[in-house]
């Protein structure tokens, strides 16, 4: 939809360009809020309650970000696209969350990759906005700080005492989930490996 107006000191073409950048962030944040709620419903196993509750806290914070970005798009004279089809149209196959009902560590491993993608997207948008609109840039900078803190909360579960992540070196959500799940039960994995060696 064509922009009919823009904030003072900005032409409609500039406002339209900024709104397009923010629309990508809006779709990603809506997707993140749904993913966090999905994990909240489907996480199981040891540590369930802490992660179940953490997902709700993070969902609430991300929903506030969604509202801020959508209202900024409207302020710029654009239309904030928050319908399911609009969000889906802006997602790639790689954005599809990989897990259903799964243990705590598997979900946190997959979520580590989700936060990597969201954080990178926000930082790229901040760079694009730096020469276009300090107001929108400032909003995303503030959100990125909060997203990185949420990511840290997730990674604190995935880290050993030396700071190494169970998901280190993984690329896909499923690889990260598998690596994190195995990190939860190193003794069991070792025993299985030993049993297989004895059998052979």
> 148 with 73: CB under 8 angstroms?
no
More confident residue, 165 or 197: 165
pLDDT at 66 over 90: yes
More confident residue, 200 or 41: 41
Region 29-38 average pLDDT:
97
Q: 162-193: per-residue pLDDT in tens?
A: 989 999 999 999 999 999 999 855 444 344 33
pLDDT at 91 over 50: yes
Q: 104-116: per-residue pLDDT in tens?
A: 999 999 999 999 9
Phi, psi at residue 143, to the nearest 5°?
-65, -40
What are the DSSP E strand ranges found in the chain? 43-44, 102-103
Rounded distance between C-alpha atoms, residue 97 and residue 55, angstroms: 15
First CA to last CA distance, the chain: 67
Q: What is the pLDDT of residue 114?
A: 97
**pTM to 2 decimal places:** 0.89
Q: According to the CATH classification, is domain 13-186 in 1.20.1260.10?
A: yes
pLDDT at 195 over 70: no
pLDDT at 50 over 50: yes
Domain ranges of the chain: 13-186
Contacts of 15 (CB under 8 A, 6+ apart): 3, 5, 6, 7, 76, 77, 78
Q: What is the pLDDT of residue 123?
A: 98
Q: 125-157: per-residue pLDDT in tens?
A: 999 999 999 999 999 999 999 999 999 999 999
């Amino acid at each position: 939809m064509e922009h009919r107006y823009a904030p003072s000191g900005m032409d409609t073409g500039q406002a339209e360009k900024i709104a397009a950048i923010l629309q990508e962030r809006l779709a990603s944040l809506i997707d993140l809020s749904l993913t966090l709620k999905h994990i909240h419903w489907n996480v199981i196993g040891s540590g369930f309650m802490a992660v179940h509750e953490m997902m709700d806290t993070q969902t609430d914070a991300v929903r506030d970000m969604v509202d801020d970005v959508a209202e900024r798009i409207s302020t710029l004279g654009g239309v904030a696209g928050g319908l399911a089809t609009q969000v889906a149209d802006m997602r790639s196959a790689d954005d599809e969350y990989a897990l259903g009902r799964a243990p705590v560590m598997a979900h946190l491993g997959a979520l580590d990759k989700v936060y990597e993608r969201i954080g990178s997207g926000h930082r790229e948008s901040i760079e694009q906005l730096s020469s276009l609109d300090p107001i929108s840039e400032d909003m995303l900078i503030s959100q990125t700080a909060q997203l990185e803190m949420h990511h840290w909360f997730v990674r604190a579960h995935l880290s050993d005492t030396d700071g190494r992540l169970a998901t280190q070196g993984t690329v896909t959500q499923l690889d990260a989930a598998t690596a994190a799940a195995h990190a939860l039960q190193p003794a069991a994995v070792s025993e299985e490996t030993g049993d297989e060696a004895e059998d052979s």
